[in-house]
Chain A
């Protein structure tokens, strides 16, 4: 699909050297900015930014031209529940760094301190159109799980080795039947502990000098944890709580209001039952629309209608692969968004739920999430409808850089595509 637009050899030569411009032409461009779709539109990228989007847009001389041929163009996708950079292979100790167990701290665990930009999971995921992710800790033995990081998936392509877009972008916690096990097995205990932890963090923040002089009261958390909770209580970062039962969400809505915390609910299978409360409190949700089973007594009311009902109530939705089973398949975020659409979520809302909305919930919407001038150039051209299970990208651009459509899986496929070739696999 990629061709150099050759005007004159001299022009191409002189401009190619200094400007990294890309123009995607003839696109059906889903800007996701305002729900509009631009037909036969052009997206122009210079360096790492989008510099023009529209129908009457000139292609810069010397630009790499990608002819979308009328096919959809969207922002790169963002999946906000991943283990990107923390997980290489499941169940292999040393190749899985997302769960902090037995550490002396919990909220203070910072995933950005241990990310691996060379993970083969990164190219496997990005060739399917996911360009941004939140790398999420999970520490089921404690109430607070630590600090997640926003990452880009362009590592190993000349964009450098630093995959972190925003470290310590959100704090994580669990609330419900399973999370309560960390607090003696009761939800009441859990809520009391959470409140105490917030009070302690506020007290600590107001009395840091006394703390250093060992003149404060006892706190329920380690200093690292209190430090990590302060930005939550100051409203700088969201507290993302994995929670499913409606009654638990009601408790959390109260806590969010009491402490003025920006909360986001993750998994949230019964969220539809409290949709109006969430809308009023402006609490966003991260859901997998395909999760419709009462897997525990925390989600007896799980249903395929969750996404639609939340949308109808005006709740901000991000769609993400929240299930443990999907830790290696964050690429399938398009499929579950499609399941949401099959069950009543409007297409535009589903696309926003994997681009703009997650950017807003995590506070990076200034740089990413829509195809608008000034945004980071994460752009994907698709074979067809991006939510269709039969469709993949033809072109993936991250921060203005065209990604190679290559991955360990593609290499393995090509190695074994002809079993009759006498050349041993190891020599291929």
Chain B
């Protein structure tokens, strides 16, 4: 974590040496939370409360633990919504509900790091679509969570595909699209009721064609050059904003009665929090050369790119991504739907994974794809193995689980079947790397939240009421 504290006097001393126009990256390491102490950083807090969970033992399954491991004939104990133990030789506590999972596979829940469910819901109409705020190339002030519709029928389809957590992202029309939100894939009346407790927001940024296409005939950018100029100007504005608040804080701490707080600016605030690491940078980028430039820009301003999303050419710079500690979140095989995706290859995910310390993620960006992410991982694994990469099923499951958890910084809480973590668990009716396999049960925080064999444990969204009954549609 980069957010080192600076004392007020250090800040003032540092600032006395540089004018605002010459701000250096190192001045950005002050803590935005401290500076913006009077600001409520969590005004729409999570109200998610896990549903009651039984003490449960899943017995006799083939287990993919999400952290790279595979256990034959494994047992998993879930207690109080948490994973209690996993292994072949675990004690089953008295009173546990026993689930015979013989012949089944049990995995950690799938985390989709690129979803627009809820903000780009079905039915897909102008009235319901809220993915892109295409009124300005920088809308860092908007928040995805202000538009997530918890009744989007796609949430219920996603959980049937074993998805337990989603990172719901703003779209990619803008250089800075806005703030993203992480949700648990649970039935709820409100968006706050789905919000993943304690998960950081992200800021969605976009490279390449989309901002050019959307703004080329308007205010610009109409070129990649102007896109970079736009990012850099905005980052400098955010540095200035931090500087103004640092100065104000220093004055307050020195007891200056004339200290006046700067005007709050929601756009700059998002970016300042991204610079300090309190908000994660999630960037849509296809071309290798652009990603390499963005990594340099991140160094220029002292921030970290958590993930490149789509990253269709990530295989060309897998080493650079690994070195930067930046994950690639990718489709298995989408390509060619626009020029910057023309060089897509099936082995992309496997090659990003193969780099030393590489972090590969399978994402959907699709409310159909999110239902079959296990199949998408299977395709990528097979492609990698066909070229001799020797990827195991356990390793490939990380692409759906621990790796996205890392990129979202929720890996302490979820992303693998390890004692103490949230019991986000899927029982599959067979090998999840087969097209014929379906999720049978999904537990979220230990609570049975989807059951293929129980219509009343399948989501029926408000939208679907009156059209169909529980279990009529899947």
Residues of A within 8 A of B (CB): 88-92, 121, 290-297, 300-305, 323, 325, 327-329, 331-332, 335, 338-339, 341-343, 387-392, 409-410, 412-413, 416-417, 419-420, 425
Contact = CB atoms under 8 A, between A and B. Distances in A.
B468 interface: yes
A323 B124 CA distance: 14
Contact of A413 (B157, B209, B213, B347): B347
9 contacts: A88-B336, A91-B209, A325-B334, A325-B366, A341-B435, A342-B436, A413-B315, A413-B347, A416-B316
B215 interface: no
Interface in B312-349: 315-319, 333-339, 342-347
B368 A409 contact: no
Q: Give the interface centre of A88, A303, A412 by most chain B CB atoms within 10 Å.
A: A412
Interface string B370-399: 011001001101100011000000000000
B106 to A, nearest CB: 19
Q: Is the interface of A mostly helix, strand, loop or mixed?
A: loop
Contacts of A343: 438, 474
B123 A295 contact: yes
B463 A294 contact: yes
Q: Give the interface centre of A305, A387, A413, A417 by most chain B CB atoms within 10 Å.
A: A413
B122 interface: yes
Contact of A303 (B436, B438, B463, B474): B474
B426 interface: no
Q: Give the interface centre of B351, B355, B436 by most chain A CB atoms within 10 Å.
A: B436
B435 A302 contact: no
A338 B374 CA distance: 13
Contacts of A301: 467-468, 473
A17 B82 CA distance: 71
A339 B153 contact: no
Contacts of B134: none
Given A303-B474, A329-B333, A413-B351, 12 more contacts: A89-B338, A294-B153, A296-B122, A305-B473, A305-B474, A331-B333, A339-B372, A341-B436, A389-B379, A390-B382, A416-B316, A419-B355
Nearest to B334: A329
A4 to B, nearest CB: 25
Nearest to B438: A342
B367 interface: yes
A416 B122 contact: no
A290 B368 contact: yes
Contacts of B346: 409, 413
Contacts of B467: 300-301
Given A293-B153, A295-B123, A409-B344, A335 B435 contact: yes
Contact of A294 (B122, B209, B372, B438): B122
A89 B367 contact: no
B338 A91 contact: yes
A419 B352 CA distance: 11
B372 A290 contact: yes
Contacts of A323: 368
Nearest to B378: A389
Contact of A390 (B337, B347, B368, B433): B433
Given A293-B367, A392-B386, A417-B387, A387 B338 contact: no
B38 interface: no
A323 B337 CA distance: 12
A59 B433 CA distance: 37
Nearest to B342: A89
A72 B127 CA distance: 49
B336 A328 contact: yes
A69 B124 CA distance: 48
Interface string B429-447: 0000111111000000000
A417 B354 CA distance: 10
Interface in B65-81: none
A293 B345 CA distance: 28
B154 interface: yes
A388 B435 contact: yes
Contacts of A294: 122-123, 153, 463-464
Given A323-B368, A328-B336, A342 B437 contact: yes
Q: List 5 A-B pairs, minimum CB-CB distance, nearest first.
A: A338-B435, A328-B336, A390-B382, A90-B337, A91-B338
Nearest to B123: A296
A300 B461 CA distance: 12
A296 B125 contact: yes
Contacts of A419: 316-319, 355
B464 A387 contact: no
A328 B337 contact: yes
A292 B473 CA distance: 8
Q: Give the interface centre of B315, B333, B463 by most chain A CB atoms within 10 Å.
A: B333
Contact of B315 (A88, A300, A388, A416): A416
Contacts of B375: 335, 389
A342 B435 contact: yes
A390 to B, nearest CB: 4
Contacts of B472: 303
Nearest to A419: B319
A387 B336 contact: no
A121 B387 contact: no
A302 B463 CA distance: 13
A89 B157 contact: no
A323 to B, nearest CB: 7
A92 B336 CA distance: 10
Contacts of B334: 325, 328-329
A409 B463 contact: no
A295 B345 contact: no
Contacts of A92: 338-339
A290 B369 CA distance: 9
Contact of B337 (A325, A335, A410): A325
Contacts of B342: 89
Nearest to A332: B333
A338 to B, nearest CB: 3
Interface in B203-244: 209, 213
A139 B440 CA distance: 41
A89 B474 contact: no
Nearest to B436: A342
Interface string B92-121: 000000000000000000000000000000
A301 B469 CA distance: 11
B288 to A, nearest CB: 9
B372 A297 contact: no
Contacts of B351: 413, 416-417
A92 to B, nearest CB: 5
A91 B216 CA distance: 15
A48 B346 CA distance: 31
Contacts of A302: 473
Contact of B336 (A89, A341, A412): A89
Contacts of A390: 378-379, 381-382, 433-434
A294 B435 CA distance: 23
Contacts of B382: 389-392
Interface in B440-474: 463-464, 467-468, 472-474
Contacts of A91: 209, 213, 337-339
B338 A293 contact: no
B387 A413 contact: yes
A343 B474 CA distance: 10
Nearest to B332: A389
A291 B368 contact: yes
A90 B213 CA distance: 13
Nearest to B365: A325
